Amino acid sequence: MEPMDDVEVIQADVTELPAAFDESTLLLDVREDDEWQCGHAADAMHIPMGDVPSRLGEVDPEATVYVMCHAGGRSQRVAQYLARNGYRAINVSGGMLAWSAAGRPVVTDDGGPGSV
């Protein structure tokens, strides 16, 4: 996925994210499978960055989509792609590193404690 400098994307600090995600807000984790398996936000949807174009139909076009990766670079590109395709996409600055540093929970698929 190439950078799209002509598409402006809103940036959000982890502290600005909702406490919980519902049908109107989506936390999209675009990290690779091995990163996801180590730990992720409990409410996140996982679609690796390279799979986003082919799985775009899984993302609700009516929702505000908060996009997160490890540190914020990949999620910026995905947020630009989503914005170009009509989604309200917001890049989570600092990604999972910031999420974890802010004390937000990181879990594994079985609900146990995860790591970033």
What is the three-class DSSP state of 55? helix
User: Could you report the per-residue pLDDT of 57-93, keeping only the tens digit for each?
Assistant: 999 999 999 999 999 999 999 999 999 999 999 999 9
- Give the pLDDT band (50/70/90) at residue 1: low
Annotation marks residue 69 as catalytic: yes
Contact by Cβ (8 Å): 92, 68: yes
Is the pLDDT assigned to residue 42 strictly greater than 70? yes
Rounded (5°) CA angle 93-33-71: 15
SS3 for 81-98 is HHHHCCCEEEEECCHHHH
pLDDT of residue 22: 87
H-helix or E-strand spanning residue 75: helix 73-84
Q: Which residues contact 108 (CB under 8 A, 6 or more apart)?
A: 37, 38, 39, 40, 114
Catalytic residue among 69, 78, 79, 89: 69
- Give the pLDDT band (50/70/90) at residue 8: confident
Question: How much is the mean pLDDT over the chain?
Answer: 94
The structure's pTM equals 0.94
pLDDT of residue 23: 85
Token representation of residue 30: 């675009």
pLDDT of residue 62: 96
Could you state, in order of their start, the residue ranges of all structural domains in the chain?
A: 10-101
Distance between CA atoms of 57 and 10, rounded to whole angstroms? 22
DSSP state of 22: -
Task: Just give the CATH number of 10-101.
Answer: 3.40.250.10
